[in-house]
């Protein structure tokens, strides 16, 4: 059975998509989608030998070698033009690593119309990358599993303008203000306030002043957005 997190990622993969799952580990996500008849073809990319071998084994065990090609490659280098991949999933990594994967082999995205990205932290950098690279947020989801909060960002081609708060928090997540969302950002505010208190005791160097101003700004920004 798939985790609630990966099930949510899977729910955003369109029926009939040709998928590349990058950082596939056991290839659980593509295997699940083929079994569910959502897709019939996928590439599973892994850069580390151990997880790559687990993916190869899993695909073989599930009898899906005709559907899923597992490749040992760095990020989108796993995708070849003849694959005709139109959907990419990247899940379970930090936002900055996801962005670096998207930036490293831009030609692999030429025929891609949808990205389903699940950053464990720093979703903000993905929204910034999207705005700067002609992608718009089609959908966003936030969920909690085993005490951890995950965000899922679904991107399609398009132009979009977002406010500073929407880039940080997610426009749709902010509009929906779910319990998980409120809890996540209330905790962030509390953390920032703790840091602020501790640096208030520090000597007022220009760096400390800058950090203080930045924290103040963030706290006010998110507090205002949450009301
Ligand atoms: N996507 C799965 C999930 O969400 O459960 C696995 C997540 S696991 C925490 C992250 C995986 O990404 C690891 O197996 C790691 O080896 C792989 N990875 C990290 N950087 C990568 C890159 N540049 N290209 C391909 N895979 C990468």
Taking the domains of the chain in order of start, what are their residue ranges? 4-161, 182-226
Residue 225 Cα to ligand 1 middle (Å): 33
CATH of domain 4-161: 3.40.50.150
Q: What is the Cα gyration radius of the chain?
A: 19
pLDDT at 200: 84
Q: What interface predicted TM-score (ipTM) does this complex get?
A: 0.99
Residue 132 Cα to ligand 1 middle (Å): 24
6 in contact with ligand 1, CB cutoff 6 A: yes
Give pLDDT < 50 ranges for the chain.
none
Ligand 1 atom 14, closest CA: 25
Query: What are the pLDDT digits (tens) for 62-81?
Result: 999 999 999 999 999 999 99
Q: Are 43 and 79 in contact (CB under 8 A)?
A: yes
Three-class SS of the chain: CCCHHHHHHHCCCCCCCEEEEECCCCCHHHHHHHHCCCCCEEEEEECCHHHHHHHHHHHHHCCCCCCEEEEECCHHHHCCHHHCCCEEEEEEECHHHHHHHHHHCHHHHCCCCEEEEEECCCHHHHHHHHHHCCEEEEEEEEEEECCEEEEEEEEEECCCCCCHHHHHHCHHHHHHCCHHHHHHHHHHHHHHHHHHHHHHCCCCCHHHHHHHHHHHHHHHHHHHHHC
Ligand 1 atom 3, closest CA: 92
pLDDT at 202: 81
């Amino acid at each position: 059975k798939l985790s609630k997190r990966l099930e949510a990622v899977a729910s955003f993969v369109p029926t009939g998509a040709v998928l590349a799952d990058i950082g596939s580990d056991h290839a659980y996500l593509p295997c699940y989608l083929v079994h569910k008849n959502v897709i019939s073809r996928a590439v599973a990319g892994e850069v580390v030998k151990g997880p790559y071998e687990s993916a190869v084994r899993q695909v073989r065990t599930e009898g899906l070698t005709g559907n899923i090609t597992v490749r040992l490659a760095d990020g989108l280098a796993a995708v070849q033009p003849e694959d005709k991949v139109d959907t990419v999933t990247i899940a379970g990594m930090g936002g900055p690593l996801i962005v670096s994967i998207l930036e490293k082999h831009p030609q692999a995205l030429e025929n891609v119309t949808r990205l389903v990205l699940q950053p464990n932290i720093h979703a903000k950098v993905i929204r910034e990358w999207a705005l700067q690279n002609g992608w718009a947020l089609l959908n966003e989801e936030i969920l909690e599993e085993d005490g951890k909060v995950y965000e899922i960002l679904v991107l399609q081609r398009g132009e979009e303008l977002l406010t500073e708060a929407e880039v940080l928090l997610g426009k749709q997540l902010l509009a929906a203000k779910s319990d998980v969302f409120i809890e996540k950002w209330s905790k962030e505010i509390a953390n920032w306030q703790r840091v602020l208190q501790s640096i208030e005791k520090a000597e007022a160097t220009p760096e400390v002043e800058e950090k203080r101003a930045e924290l103040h700004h963030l706290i006010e920004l998110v507090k205002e957005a949450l009301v």
